[in-house]
Chains A and B, each alone.
Chain A
Amino acid sequence: MPWPTIFANLAAGVQPLSLFDAMFTQVAQMCAIPCSAAGTNALTLTPIGAAPTFTSYQNFTSARFVAVNTSTGAITAQFGTLASLNVYLGDLATQAGSGAITIGQEYVLVFVQSLNVGAGGFVLESAAIGGTGSSGFAPQASLLTSGTTFTTPTAGGKLPLYLYVRMVGGGGGGGGDTAGTGGTGGTTSFTNVTNWTTVGGTGGGFSSSTTSPGAGGLGGSGGTSGTGTLVVRITGGRGNDGVVTGSASSSFDGGEGAGTPFGGRGAGIGGATGGAAQANSGSGGAGAGSTATRCGGGGGASEYLEFIISSPAASYTYAIGAAGTAGVGGTNNGGAGAGGAIEITSYWQ
């Protein structure tokens, strides 16, 4: 297609000057008209100085401006006194909204007739190479071992694209030597509309006779999945049984606690109190060791869980599963289990 006029082809003689107007109107349809902007979410664009005004919207007519406010809601724009139209993001379906326009930054609005079911609209362009955060934000890590509210971090005023969450409940405590079952670890929860939970491990048993060692506690299982995407859920391992023997002169370890993917299981200690699990690992404590032939069982490990939450909320409630208490033995106690933990990594891209 040609320009409206090929001047060399005109017939000799006087021609209307409006031919020039038609040509420059076409030029204006193809340039990004420099404009000043007013408004926050309802933008009004006014050509600067002698910049031309297009008298109707045509496909790909454009206006360039520097934003005077940061948008806080759904955005519309109008050029001069033409109709106010919706402004869309790059998928040409999502209306630009809060935070899509930042004060002081340069933008181009490009008219596309097919938008908004043929009613027409603007595509928001931002070709400038931005400053801080323009290439994205580094992930932020949060390790929760106490408290009840997680406040989602922001970067550049924006909530993350998604949260990646790993969590464990409490580990079971180790059993005592001749008495005292270890306590069961508590449930850890993270509430996103509904609860994501990981169930704690069961405490280890004690030796009830010279022929019955303390049994290892069961691993946690049966937690629930809330809103989001499950990556993996793994049942907790079971604690090891203790030892019994008629040999009174020996020194034996209690049963080892079971570990989670965070490690930290309690170690059996010869003839002594069982080793505690490492704090907030969700692992089980060891059973009581003994020099008198009867050892406790190790505590079970918590269930383990990984999941993803997209478009996160500003905050969430949570609970950290308590550590299973150590079984109180006749001579030696078991080791305490570990409390639970929630590890959250926030990603902006």
Chain B
Amino acid sequence: MPWPTTFAKLSAGNQLLALFDAMFTQIAQMVAVPCTAAGTNAITLTPIGNAPAFTSYQNFTAARFVATSNSTAAVTATFAGLTALNVYNGDMLTQAGNGSITSGQEYVLIFVQSLNAGAGGFVLEQASVPATAGFIPVPANLISGVTYTTPLQGGRLPLYLHVRMIAGGGGGGSNNSGTGGGAGGTTSFDSWTALGGSGGQPCPGFGSPGPGGAGGSGGVNGSGVLRRRLAGARGNDGISNAGGPTPRWPGGLGGVGPFGGQGRGVAAGNGGASIANTGCGGAGGGDNGVECGGGGGCGEYVEFFISPPAASYPIAIGAAGAASTGGITSNGAAGAAGRIIVLAHWQ
């Protein structure tokens, strides 16, 4: 394509000086016009000094500016009194929004007529070499509370959350004549859930071991991508042996999950507590006779990704299954409560 005028080809004699204006107008359409910017989400661009103003938007007319505010919502821009148009990210579909523009950083807006179904819009460019290769993930280790507040870095929400969580473990059963352990509670993150383990049961009598509690299972998936869901491990049965003299047996071990933390099966004693917030089942009651309680089941475990994350989520930490009571010799231990570990990633 030629310039508007090839001067050497002009006919002899006087020519209109407006030919020069047409040439410089064309130049203005091809460079990034240096501008000052005003506004947060509705940005007004004004040429600096003698920099030209293009009088209409043409494909790839551009303006360069340093942002004076962080964008907080959908962004539009207007150049020197022309129509305000939407500003788009690099996919040419997503309107630039909260956090797309950072105060003090340098940008170029490029007009493209085909954007916004032909109405025209700007593409947001930022070619400057970033100061860092990204942000370090921010962890949260949640063992109580009801809300997770998504952290910000550089004024931006993360690209995604990586969540690992486990429900509460069931309590261990008593050795005989007592109660079963309580069931562990459900852990939830938004609409994702992991179900607690069942309690171990007491030994019903000679020759019949105390049944271990079933592991938690059947939780539901929420919005996001499931990485893995593991049913909780079942607690071990207790031992039952009619007629053995002077034994000292531990109760059945509680089920163990990906966070470890099993409780000790104590010979002829109350089950040992499992490690807090591991979702493990409690050990059953041991016995100096022949009737041991079953261990509690482990809580269900689930791991998933959420992208893009919201500003906050409701959470619940599954309660520990209660210890059993009323055993003739001993009782089972309480299970462990649940836990949620969230890693927020920006890239």
Contact = CB atoms under 8 A, between A and B. Distances in A.
B247 A243 contact: yes
Contacts, number: 233
A237 B275 contact: yes
Interface stretch (A27-35, A140-148, A313-321, A334-342): A27-35
A59 B34 contact: yes
A18 to B, nearest CB: 14
A29 B256 CA distance: 69
Given A59-B48, A91-B105, A237-B275, A247 B28 contact: no
A19 to B, nearest CB: 9
Contacts of B27: 27, 30
Nearest to A247: B244
A112 interface: yes
Contacts of A277: none
A7 B247 contact: no
Contacts of A2: 50, 52-53
A177 to B, nearest CB: 14
Interface stretch (A120-128, A187-195, A325-333): A120-128
* Chain A: interface size category: 35 or more
A26 interface: yes
B34 A60 contact: yes
Interface in A185-239: 210-213, 215-216, 219, 229-232, 234-239
Main DSSP-derived SS at the A contact region: loop
B310 interface: no
Interface of B is mostly: loop
Q: For A23, A26, A30, which residue has the most chain B Cβ atoms within 10 angstroms? A: A30
B21 interface: yes
B248 A211 contact: yes
Contact of B343 (A90, A161, A231, A235): A231
Given A243-B250, A261-B259, A261-B260, A27 B139 contact: no
Residue of B53, B104, B137, B261 ringed by the most chain A CB atoms within 10 A? B261
Interface stretch (A38-46, A76-84, A252-260): A252-260
B253 interface: yes
Nearest to B346: A349
B261 A237 contact: yes
A213 B51 CA distance: 90
A167 interface: no
Contacts of A110: 64, 106, 128
A182 interface: no
B62 to A, nearest CB: 10
Contact of B265 (A1, A6, A255): A255
B127 interface: yes
B328 interface: no
Contact of A108 (B21, B127, B266): B127
A109 B128 CA distance: 9
A127 B110 CA distance: 14
Given A92-B105, A234-B278, A237-B280, A3 B247 contact: no
B246 A246 contact: yes
B12 interface: no
B248 A243 contact: yes
B31 A30 contact: yes
A241 B52 contact: no
Nearest to B62: A30
A236 B260 contact: yes
A94 B104 CA distance: 12
Interface in B6-25: 16-21, 24
B119 interface: no
Contacts of A58: 34, 48-49
B131 A235 contact: no
Which 9 residue pairs of A and B lie closest in terms of their CB atoms, listed nearest first? A246-B245, A90-B128, A7-B17, A60-B34, A237-B262, A238-B264, A245-B247, A127-B127, A91-B131
Given A124-B129, A229-B139, 13 more contacts: A3-B24, A30-B27, A30-B34, A91-B132, A94-B131, A126-B129, A127-B127, A136-B347, A161-B136, A232-B341, A237-B274, A238-B262, A261-B260
Interface of B: 16-21, 24, 27-28, 31-34, 46-53, 64, 66, 80, 104-106, 125-134, 136-139, 141, 239, 241, 244-250, 253, 256, 258-267, 272, 274-278, 280, 283, 286, 339, 341, 343, 347
Interface of A: 1-4, 6-8, 10, 22-23, 26-27, 29-31, 58-60, 89-94, 96, 100, 108, 110, 112, 114, 123-127, 136, 158, 161-162, 164, 210-213, 215-216, 219, 229-232, 234-247, 250, 255-256, 258-261, 301, 304, 306, 308, 310, 348-349
12 contacts: A23-B20, A29-B34, A90-B106, A110-B64, A136-B347, A231-B141, A236-B261, A238-B263, A240-B250, A240-B264, A245-B244, A245-B246
